[in-house]
Chains A and B, each alone.
Chain A
Amino acid sequence: MMKYESQAVAKPYFIAAIALFVGQVLFGLILATQYLIGDFLFPEIPFNVARMVHTNLLIIWLLFGFMGASYFLVPEESERELYSPKLAIILFWTFLIASVLTVLGYLLVPYSGLAAMTGNDIWPTMGREFLEQPTITKIGIVIVVLGFIFNIGMTVLSGRKTVISIVLLTGLVGLAVFFLFAFYNPVNLVLDKFFWWWVIHLWVEGVWELILGAILAFVLIKVTGVDREVIEKWLYVIIAMALISGVIGTGHHYFFIGTPEYWLWLGSIFSALEPIPFFMMTLFAFNMVSRRRRDHPNKAAVLWALGTAVLAFVGAGVWGFMHTLAPVNYYTHGSQITAAHGHLAFFGAYALIVMTIISYAMPIIRGQVAGSETTQRWEKWAFWLMASSMVTITLALTGAGVLQVWLQRMAEEPMSFMATQDSIAFFYWLRLAAGIVFTMGLFVYVASFFVGQKEPPRSITTE
Chain B
Amino acid sequence: MSERFTKSMARNIYLGGGVFSLLLFFSLSYHTLGVLPERDNRHNITPEVALGKKVWEDNNCVGCHTILGEGAYFAPELGNVYTRFGNSTEAIIGFIESRPAEGVPGRRSMPQFNLTREELVGIAEFLKWTSEIDTNNWPPNIEG
Contact = CB atoms under 8 A, between A and B. Distances in A.
A189 B49 CA distance: 10
Nearest to B38: A260
Measured as residues with beta carbon below 8 angstroms from the partner, the interface class of chain B is 35 or more
B7 A191 contact: no
Interface string B107-139: 111011100000000000010001001111011
Interface string B59-71: 1111110111111
Interface centre among A39, A194, A409 (most CB of B within 10 A): A39
A244 B18 contact: yes
Contact of A266 (B28, B40, B136): B28
Contacts, number: 234
Nearest to B10: A236
Contact of A191 (B18, B40, B54): B40
A234 interface: yes
Summarize A's interface: helix, strand, loop or mixed.
helix
A188 B70 contact: no
Interface string B67-78: 111111111110
Interface in B81-106: 101-106
B10 A334 contact: no
A233 B5 contact: yes
B21 A190 contact: no
B141 A414 contact: yes
A289 interface: no
Contact of B17 (A240, A250, A334): A240
A187 B45 contact: yes
B7 A236 contact: yes
Given A129-B70, A259-B36, A330 B140 contact: yes
Contacts of A421: 108
A259 B143 contact: no
B108 A43 contact: no
Contacts of B53: 187, 189
Interface stretch (A45-53, A301-309, A385-393): A45-53
Nearest to B11: A236
Nearest to A336: B73
A416 B11 CA distance: 52
Nearest to A202: B25
Contact of A264 (B113, B136, B142): B136
Contacts of A240: 10, 13-14, 17-18
Interface in A320-338: 330-331, 333-336, 338
A410 B143 CA distance: 11
A243 B16 CA distance: 10
A457 interface: no
B35 A51 contact: no
Interface string B1-44: 10001110011011001101110110011011101100110100
Contacts of A243: 14, 17-18, 21-22
A47 B107 CA distance: 12
A52 B6 CA distance: 46
Nearest to B55: A112
A420 B74 CA distance: 11
B23 to A, nearest CB: 10
Contacts of B101: 43
A20 B9 CA distance: 41
B84 to A, nearest CB: 9
Interface in A212-262: 229-230, 232-234, 236-237, 239-241, 243-244, 247-248, 250-251, 254-262
7 contacts: A38-B104, A111-B63, A241-B17, A248-B21, A258-B39, A417-B144, A418-B108
Q: Which 4 A-B pairs have the closest CB atoms?
A: A48-B63, A127-B57, A334-B69, A38-B108
